Amino acid sequence: MKNFFLLLFFVIGCVKLTAQQVADTLYNPPITNPEYKTGQGSVVYIDEGHHNFHTKDGRYTAFSRVLGRDGYRVKSYQGPFEKSHLKTGKILVISNALNERNIGAWHVPTPSAFTSTEIETVQQWVSEGGSLFLIADHMPMAGAATDLAKAFGFEFTNGFVFNRNSQGPAFFDLKDTTLVESTITNGKSLKEKVRQIASFTGQAFKIPEDATSILRFKEDYVNVLPDTAWVFNEKTPSYPVKGWSQGAYKKHGAGKVVVFGEAAMFSAQIAGPNKIKMGMNNPVAPENYQLLLNIIHWLDGKLE
């Protein structure tokens, strides 16, 4: 384990070097056959009412632009979740929400970002036909979304997942079944089929029996549970997560839910003085944007 924590210290150093992140406004992947004509698609709300780390015109600028180029109407969702507001959209994206307590204080406790009333409202909205895309990264964002995830049967862990043998992105590949072949990974044609995905640290979670895994960890990944984000030592609890997920989906009543435990993989950012590309724009992640489109198409009922 000593070597593992030395590896973590190296990873932490890399994170500090890339702490200043800005949206990559030049990221422009090919979309040859948009799902809708410009501005005529379903409404996709991106939550901005819960101290979110990722917002429509912030760290999820590329996320929003990719969907916009596919014809979707992407809008910010402000304020608490209310049924009357939710029903004006088709898809709700929640990425890295936080409780007010944890703004600038990434340590335990990490209470829910959502009230019990909001969780009940979202659950009912999905049951009646809404589509939820819930993304919650490593601690403390995982902790802040635990109660909402639990309402749909997903068991979040308020930690970090790492490869115990190497640093850098995590790769999920069809060849070793860590990327699971499914409706979402196959897309609507061979051109949309996803074969490898990269993620950039996050959490591991357990999925309910009625869910299908998309990203599945192999035996060399461990879950590390610090009291404070990015602060690790040899006493920090850790355990293997072979078979756990970092992405999964399911139907819930008349609606649909997609859950991911890593957010940067759907962003496109420039980080640090060396302008390192992080997210969909990284050369190691050329298919990430297609996975994003496939997820949205499934949530929208265009991919069955």
State percent of the chain over pLDDT 90: 88
The pLDDT value recorded for residue 4 is: 53
Identify the band that residue 273 occupies on the pLDDT scale cut at 50, 70 and 90.
confident
- For the stretch 236-246, pLDDT in tens is 999 999 999 99
Q: What is the pLDDT of residues 37-47, one digit of tens each?
A: 999 999 999 99
Q: Give me the pLDDT at residue 275, please.
A: 86
| Angle (CA) 156 116 260, round 5° | 30
C-alpha closest to that of 272 among 14, 60, 58 = 14
Q: Residues 127-148: pLDDT tens digits?
A: 999 999 999 999 999 999 999 9
CA 282 to chain centre: 16
Q: What is the pLDDT of residues 9-24, one digit of tens each?
A: 444 444 444 456 789 9
Residue 123 in this model has a pLDDT that exceeds 60: yes
Closest by alpha carbon to 174, among 206, 202, 197?
197
CA–CA separation, 291 and 293 (whole Å): 5
Query: Is the pLDDT confidence value at 80 over 80?
Result: yes
197 has which bridge partners? 172
Residue pLDDT, tens place only, 282-295: 999 999 999 999 99
- The pLDDT of residue 19: 52
Q: What residue type is 163 in one-letter code?
A: N
Q: SS in 3 state form for the chain?
A: CHHHHHHHHHHHHHHHHCCCEEECCCCCCCCCCCCCCCCCCCEEEEECCCCCCCCCCCCCHHHHHHHHHCCCEEEEECCCCCHHHHCCCCEEEEECCCCHHHCCCCECCCCCCCCHHHHHHHHHHHHCCCEEEEECCCCCHHHHHHHHHHCCCCECCCCEEEECCCCCCEEEEHHHCCECCCHHHHCCCHHHCCCEEEECCCCCEECCCCCEEEEECCCCEEEECCCECCCCCCCCCEEECCCCEEEEEEEECCEEEEEECCCHHHCEEEECCCCEEEECCCCCCCCHHHHHHHHHHHHCCCCC
Is pLDDT at 32 greater than 60 in this prediction?
yes
Total-model pTM: 0.94
User: Do residues 242 and 132 make contact, with C-beta atoms less than 8 angstroms apart?
Assistant: no
pLDDT tens digits along 195-235: 999 999 999 999 999 999 999 999 999 999 999 999 999 99
